[in-house]
Structures are given as C-alpha cells and as structure tokens.
Amino acid sequence: MFEHIDTSLIDWSRAQFALTAIYHWLFVPLTLGLAVIMGLMETFYYRTGDEKWKRSAQYWMKLFGINFAIGVATGLILEFEFGTNWSNYSWFVGDIFGAPLAIEGILAFFMEATFIAVMFFGWQKVSRGFHLASTWLTGLGATISAWWILVANAWMQNPVGMAFNPDTARNEMIDFWAVATSSMAVNKFFHTVLSAWVVGALFVVGVSCWYLIKKRHQAFALRSIKVGASVGLLAALLTAMTGDNSGYQVAQKQPMKLAAMEALYDGESSAGLVAMGLLNPAKQKADDGVDPFIFRIEIPYMLSMLAERNLDGFVPGINDLLKGGYTLKDGSTALAAEEKMARGRQAIAAFATYRKSKAEGNEEVAATAKATLQENMPYFGYGYIKQVDDLVPNVPLTFYMFRVMVMLGGYFIFFFALVLFLVYRKDLTALPWMQWIGLLSLPLGYIAGQSGWVVAECGRQPWAIQDMLPVGTAVSKLEVGSVQTTFFLFLLLFTILLIAEIGILVKAIKKGPEE
C-alpha cells in the first residue's frame, strides 16, 4: 500500500514540519492570551466609562495585532505541508483529518477576519457595546480556530469515529461528533488554550514590569499587572488540573508515551512519580539490563494515581508493552509487540488480496480477505514497523521535557500568586527585584508550551496516527534535496519574520500607551 521511503527523507520532512510548528506556536499562545486580557480591559471600560481602561485595551490590542498577523502566515504554511510533505497521510485519512481543518478555515478564520477590522478601526464608528462584542468575538474566533486544530491533533493521538474502506483504501468518518468531542480533544483544547492564557499573562506582566523598571507609565503598568496576574493565576491553576487529566488519558490511550515520560521500563503496582531524576546515558535498549537512572527522587504512589486513579494500580513499563503478557482492564492479556506486528502484516496481505480479488471478480476470495482484514485492522500500522525497538520513542527527550513543563507550571502558580500579593498588599513600584523577576519570567511560558508539544508529539513516535500509520509511511515520495532546500528557506523566512515581529513589538513597547 505504501512504498518504501528513504529514512533521510523522513527525517528531513519531520524536521521541516517541526520547524514550522515550533515557529507557529511562538505566535498562537500570545494571540489567545492577549485576546482575553484586552477583552477584560474593554469590558471594564464599557462598564465604568473610565478612559484609562480604554487606553489600556487599545495598547494591548496593538500588540495583539502585530502578533496575530505573523501567526496567520506561519499557520497557513503548516497546513499546506500536509499536502506537500505528507501526501500518504493526507490520502489515507484526509476524509477525517481534513474536516476539522476545513471548518476551522470556513468558520473561525472568517469570523476573526470580520470582527478584527471592527475591533481596530471601529472605535469611533460603532457603539461601545458593538465594539466590545467585536473584541470578544475576535478572541472567540481565534479560540474556535484552536478548537478545530486541536480536534485534528487529538484525533491523531486517539483515532476514533472512523472505519477503513478497502475499496477506496481510505479511512472514512462514520461519526463526526465522536471525532469533534472525544475526551482527548476536549481536554487537549482546555489544557492548550489555558496554557496560552498563561503566556499572555506573563507577557502583560513582563512588559508592565519593564515600565516599572523604567519608571514610565506606572499607573498603566500596575493596572495591567493586576488584570494579567489574575488571569494568569486562574489559568495556571486550571492548566494544572487539565494536565492531570491529560496524564490519565495518555495512560489509557498511549501507555508507551507515559512510560517514556517516566523512563519506566518495568511496570509496577503502586508506582511512584519521578519528581527529579538523572537518566543513565549508558541505557541504550529497553531490555539491556542497565539501570535507567543515575539517581531519582520519587513521589510514592503518585504515578499509579495519575494513570489509574488508584494508589495500587499497575502501570506498564516499556518492556511490558513490548513483551505483553500482563492483564488489561477488560481481563484480556496484552499482546506482545511481535504479535501485533505479525497481525499487522496479515492485515496488509489481506488488503492486497482483497484488492486483487475484487479486480479479478473473485468475490468469494475477496470476502474471506475482507474478513481477515477487519479482524486484524486494529494492528494495521504495526505491519509497517521493522523492529520492536522502533516502537519506543526518544525516552530522554520525552522524560526531561515533561519535567520542564511540569516544573514551570508549578512556578507559574507561585509567581502569579506572589505578584498579586505584592501589587495589592505592597508597593510594587518600590520592589525592583520583583520587577526584574516579572520581566525575566516573560519567556518561560514559551519554553513550557514548546516543552509540552515536544512531549505530545515526540512521545507518540513512531506514529503519525497512533497505532494506525507510522511516520515513515505517511511521508510524500519527494527528492531529499527539495525538502532540505525548503527547510532552510523556511528557517530563513521564519527567522526573519520572528526578528521583524520582535523589532516591531519592542518599538511599540518603547513608545508605550497613548496618554
């Protein structure tokens, strides 16, 4: 069904997509976060009539607009890459994956485009109420856009609502609402959007602290810090809650990812969560007998609680998932990876037989082959896996990035709580040490967000679609040189765009709000 692809082409195609996604996610969270904060400020203006809130909202809107424009450009390129670099993927599941992306373009993008014009240019042309609605609807449009994109991503992590049609060689959607409202999609949406609010809050607090350091626009800065830190604390707390639920869903749907996140090679009951640890670089293979840790500090029982909502729950490790033999929740015995791979090859062979028999008009053979295909279809993707070890993601990368994300999440809760205490109970203008902490904390939200995406995407390797389609079979058959060329072109283009945006933002920040 899929041709053999050069591994260097796979690596360069992955690198190009990762590059585009990383740059895109530098812009998206600030858009989503600032949308809430500027919406709240304009709401305060609408309710009080106080011009200071209007000026505050207009200032953050200006920075929102600068960031929004660049984010759209990178997002469009990202979607085009599915057709150019990942044509096998697009063919195999395009009927499903394309639906949420099409809705995102038709509904959310045009919603944003309509109301953003009113938001920027309608201050003196429409009523205050209509302008306020336009501001919130602009942010809502961006959030709805995120919803449909995250629905598509969640489906790749947990494919539901579809069936494989052997006559078209495509997966086809049979339940739209199962795709659109799966538990993984809903939780991924809230976790991602709330983390974006944290980024927006850190940006507002950081920029405002810069004004306090420079002793400029101090009343404006303190107003903005109060709103930004309040949004940030709420968002950070809710992000932690949704993060806990994400861990549970990963344990149920992607146990290999969870095992990599914890560097758990041998399953345990009453398993502890690694709070801190240093991995052993001598550990090269799952069953090589080398201790995976040089040292670690565990929180007792916490991994079992996270994964199974049971202090005594069994959490399978990498070796368990590869060798099978443990008891699943439904009472059945987990299959070994070798068995899954064998059944996947049976599915592929049955599919080939079905297609050939249908073409020859041999319906009896075709019916038998179709039954074999349907029986083994859950393991179809495993048929393209060459070695058992290929099913193990990059453990050190996943392990460390997970801890970066979690530790920064805890820091944000403490940071925003401290900022709110100092701004309401103390004189923040007289605390230069806190002003510098606020400014230097600004980039940490981006680091946490990128770390989270590394865990989500690298932790599910080698799958483009979990258990269904490996990355190696999803890629387009292109010349490696063409992918390399476009990689460096995109790297140059995105870097120029990023430098330009930072330059424009810095210029606008130095100018400050209109007095």
Q: Cα separations (Å) of 421 from 194, 197, 230, 336, 428?
A: 22, 20, 11, 54, 10
User: Do 293 and 405 lie in a common domain?
Assistant: no
The string of pLDDT tens digits covering residues 206-255 is 999 999 999 999 999 999 999 999 999 999 999 999 999 999 999 999 99
Residue with tokens 């870097």: 495
71 in Cβ contact with 145 (< 8 Å)? no
Residue partners of 168: CB distance under 8 A and separation at least 6: none
Written as one letter, the residue type at 110 is F
User: Do 63 and 41 lie in a common domain?
Assistant: yes
* Residue 77, pLDDT score: 79
167 in Cβ contact with 358 (< 8 Å)? yes
Alpha-carbon span 437 to 414, nearest angstrom: 12
Tally of structural domains, the chain:
3
User: Do 218 and 274 lie in a common domain?
Assistant: no
* Residue 454, pLDDT score: 94
In a domain, 61, yes or no: yes
Reported as type and span, the H/E element at residue 114 is: helix 110-121
* Residue 154, pLDDT score: 92
Average pLDDT over residues 158-168: 90
Reported as type and span, the H/E element at residue 514 is: none
* Residue 215, pLDDT score: 93
Over 255-282, what HEC string results? HHHHHHHHCCCCCEECCCEEEEEEECCC
% of residues, the chain, pLDDT over 70: 99
Question: Residue 29's closest CA among 37, 19, 41?
Answer: 37
User: Do 248 and 227 lie in a common domain?
Assistant: yes
Alpha-carbon span 337 to 322, nearest angstrom: 5
- The conformation of residue 336, written as its DSSP 8-state character, comes to P
* Length of the chain in terms of residues written: 515
The string of pLDDT tens digits covering residues 457-502 is 999 999 999 999 999 888 888 888 889 999 999 999 999 989 998 9
Model-level pTM? Answer: 0.92
In a domain, 93, yes or no: yes
Q: What is the mean pLDDT of the chain?
A: 91
User: Do 177 and 288 lie in a common domain?
Assistant: no
In a domain, 323, yes or no: no
- E strand residue ranges, 56-166: 162-165
- E strand residue ranges, 118-225: 162-165, 170-173
User: Do 186 and 252 lie in a common domain?
Assistant: yes
Q: Which domain holds residue 244?
A: 29-259+395-511
Alpha-carbon span 353 to 365, nearest angstrom: 8
3-state secondary structure of 172: strand
In a domain, 168, yes or no: yes
User: Do 121 and 143 lie in a common domain?
Assistant: yes
Alpha-carbon span 168 to 358, nearest angstrom: 12
Burial class (CB in 10 A: 0-12, 13-18, 19+), 139: buried
User: Do 290 and 369 lie in a common domain?
Assistant: no
In a domain, 223, yes or no: yes
The string of pLDDT tens digits covering residues 43-68 is 999 999 999 999 999 999 999 998 88
Average pLDDT over residues 419-433: 92
End-to-end CA, the chain: 65
In a domain, 111, yes or no: yes
278's tokens: 């240093």
In a domain, 2, yes or no: no
User: Do 48 and 195 lie in a common domain?
Assistant: yes
Average pLDDT over residues 271-290: 88
Vertex 505, ends 499 and 510: CA angle to 5°? 125
User: Do 111 and 42 lie in a common domain?
Assistant: yes
User: Do 350 and 380 lie in a common domain?
Assistant: yes
User: Do 147 and 198 lie in a common domain?
Assistant: yes
In a domain, 329, yes or no: no
